[in-house]
Structure 1
């Protein structure tokens, strides 16, 4: 392997030159400690534990292809999530072959027993030629619904688009998100088939602003989470990270807070006023039964985004403060 070849070079006086053997080995060890992939294969693992947290078994997950025996390159698979059925999802490197060459690309996969299933085996040629990552599977629920994202070519640009894969049907679905050219990434799905993640809400040419979303796979409804909280809320949900079976969402919010110095004291401007700065913090969204969406007024210089119907309501919990977000009901 790579380590053995490097060690042999340290043993060869002609190859290591004036460097002492011990120094050569020390340098080798330091480089491998900094980047273990130089001498290691990386594989996803599943740990089986008993009810007391004791380790019962460790299962090594595979990759999408079998390297040649003489191939000493390092290849990677990684597990991101596992459901109660023992099915894991994540990524694996695999081969992509054109008429001219074979290259290694990273794909979203399902690890089902000894099988490694490629969710996106036929990417766009332009995407495969320009992106090392084709797709990623980020989560799976007990209904064997898998979520993640795939890189797609849209209007001449590579964009991540979130997907839901139904293992029972063998169908890969790309729901409508904020707009055609919006990047969107699904991060989690619960056992009620609710998907959360984030996506771009602006179609600008520069850096685009992202916000969290909630997608109800049962009724095929996509919602910007900002449409589910109070109209006058000071929090912008920039990313929805996880959702449990109580439909509670762990998310990231952007808000303005008073500036403080290194000692934690408020910074005041020359007029004696607090200085507000953009701040990022963790938030928790909790559903409220029976809530209804408000009709929010939109400033004339902003574009209103239509609110869609949804079957859930929410409450925002942040630093001990409760902020209501409303149930959206179809009229």
Structure 2
């Protein structure tokens, strides 16, 4: 049965905090009722915002697929509590145990699938279904961006359905038992484009042995979509998978999923052109920098081969794409750790910032000075932003860069302090850049992540929190996107009343409601003629506002870093 997208009811009012002397007003976009945390991923020039939710309250458990003899369940629930769960009486303690059980049993396909992320239009409070059609979501789904035509880009892992399967009889098991298995649909990941004509899957270049995969990363206003996906599979890998997945021991789709996920597919960056109906065509494959910027793999046989690939991160309306691709130098041999105990010498290889100009690839980062680099954003003036990585004080640090493609000028603007690690996310046509940086706490070695705003014209770099009123209830930890109106969307932390997994308020022994910090999606609107608040010196030194504590970063880790891309 197919279900329509879910609509979540919310009060029409939004919470706004302003100050008489601030330059940005904070408008809360989430979380949405029924979820604890919300994260922003992009906005357009109409102030339409997309993002993702996590930590669903009252997570629906399929008791028919719970193994109540599982050691984790038995160790954490009493026999009496287990009997109550079997009757459908699930309290907060039992639900916490069951959720942990589902998460730990992700590789056991007799167990219900656990969904951690839920896409949402934050400006309308509307949940969106990317691939899933079942009432209870069985996969992880993401929205990454929205353009000015109200077209949205996202991707989702494969949805599962519960199916009966009987293995083939053999000498060892002449009477096999029928199993109830959660079986995945083809394509372990699928990029999806939403247009006014419908919803379409981004087709990968290679689809054998499991349907291949695609991930949408971004889109512009002129019908182009960027991402990456499966481009091929080595012949020996094809042979091995075909032999293993003959359908006798488990369903072929499940076998393909278990064998093709990971490094089985060769991966390339891709660009899809949308037709008049918004349907994507066959992808154009993007190249890679290769050995010494040749676009080819190194040929040395005395060292391991390098996996060459490319990942686009942004595209402007002229179709200029920026991102990163694999670079190598076969004359530069370095020691690489394989795991924490062993390593070996290999040809130097790393992702480096790349401009994909049609079929031509261009690099602009000195690979001798910087160990790796990534271009993350480009505007319609061909100004590119990103970061390059260097070891500073025995730690890898991201150094923020600006590259003018028109003049081929590369600069590394100063951020909050010399060894801060900074990663820009987006640049608008006013040459304003937003992203994430580190702020230092006076008299301490603690570094805290904060959102930043850089003005290229004025060459000013600011912690966004200093642009809010001093009594703001929010601390901006990452700024994700900025449009041509200079509106910023970001993820903040905010202190709220603490709730358990069922959404019920938690209290201490004296009956006082406990507090906790949660991730919340926010929109920052410029205040006309606003000015920066003169907060007390300690607040400025520690880069803190009211409620500013960063013990929440485990929540931010729930969303993969790879999920973001946006409008243009």
TM norm structure 2? 0.46
1:6–1:28 CA contact under 8 A, matched in 2:
no
In 2 relative to 1, CA 159–285 (structure 1 residues): closer, same or farther, beyond 3 Å?
same
Is 1:237 matched up with 2:467? no
Higher RCO (CA < 8 A, seq sep 6+): 2
What is the CA distance between 1:108 and its match in structure 2?
1.3
Q: Say which of 339, 343, 352 aligns to 1:107.
A: 352
Match of 2:440 in 1: 202
In 2 relative to 1, CA 11–227 (structure 1 residues): closer, same or farther, beyond 3 Å?
closer
Query: Where does the alignment leave 5 or more consecutive residues of structure 2 unmatched?
Result: 1-231, 291-295, 334-345, 544-568
Q: Say which of 368, 379, 385 aligns to 1:141.
A: 379
In 2 relative to 1, CA 99–53 (structure 1 residues): closer, same or farther, beyond 3 Å?
closer
2:233–2:266 CA contact under 8 A, matched in 1:
no
Structure 2: distance between partners of 1:216 and 1:53: 35
CA offsets 1:189-235 (integer angstroms, 9 cap, x no match):
11111100011102688763110000011111111101100011121
Match of 1:5 in 2: 236
What is the CA distance between 1:57 and its match in structure 2?
5.8
Structure 2: distance between partners of 1:46 and 1:10: 28
Structure 1: distance between partners of 2:350 and 2:461: 30
In 2 relative to 1, CA 158–77 (structure 1 residues): closer, same or farther, beyond 3 Å?
same
1:10–1:21 CA contact under 8 A, matched in 2:
no
Is 1:96 matched up with 2:329? yes
Structure 2: distance between partners of 1:202 and 1:143: 33
Aligned positions of 1:133-212 closer than 5 A? 134-202=372-440, 208-212=447-451
Is 1:123 matched up with 2:368? yes
What is the CA distance between 1:10 and its match in structure 2?
8.0
Q: Say which of 37, 58, 83 aligns to 2:316.
A: 83
Q: Say which of 455, 459, 464 aligns to 1:216.
A: 455
In 2 relative to 1, CA 102–21 (structure 1 residues): closer, same or farther, beyond 3 Å?
same
CA offsets 1:96-149 (integer angstroms, 9 cap, x no match):
34454632211111101111112314333xx64xxxxx0111111000011111
1:2–1:72 CA contact under 8 A, matched in 2:
no
1:148–1:186 CA contact under 8 A, matched in 2:
yes
What is the CA distance between 1:28 and its match in structure 2?
7.2
Instruction: Describe the SS at the equivalent of 1:32.
Output: helix
Structure 2: distance between partners of 1:296 and 1:248: 23
Bigger shift: residues 263-272 or 242-251: 263-272
Structure 1: distance between partners of 2:359 and 2:312: 14
Query: Where does the alignment leave 5 or more consecutive residues of structure 1 unmatched?
Result: 129-133, 306-331
Structure 1: distance between partners of 2:313 and 2:357: 14
1:81–1:140 CA contact under 8 A, matched in 2:
yes
Q: Say which of 33, 48, 53 aligns to 2:278.
A: 53
2:270–2:285 CA contact under 8 A, matched in 1:
yes
1:212–1:238 CA contact under 8 A, matched in 2:
yes
Match of 1:32 in 2: 259
2:298–2:330 CA contact under 8 A, matched in 1:
no
Match of 1:313 in 2: none
Match of 1:265 in 2: 504
2:322–2:355 CA contact under 8 A, matched in 1:
yes
Structure 2: distance between partners of 1:9 and 1:41: 15
Is 1:67 matched up with 2:297? yes
What is the CA distance between 1:75 and its match in structure 2?
2.0
Structure 2: distance between partners of 1:63 and 1:103: 15
Instruction: Describe the SS at the equivalent of 2:430.
Output: coil
Structure 2: distance between partners of 1:82 and 1:184: 21
TM norm structure 1? 0.77
Match of 1:303 in 2: 541
1:10–1:24 CA contact under 8 A, matched in 2:
no
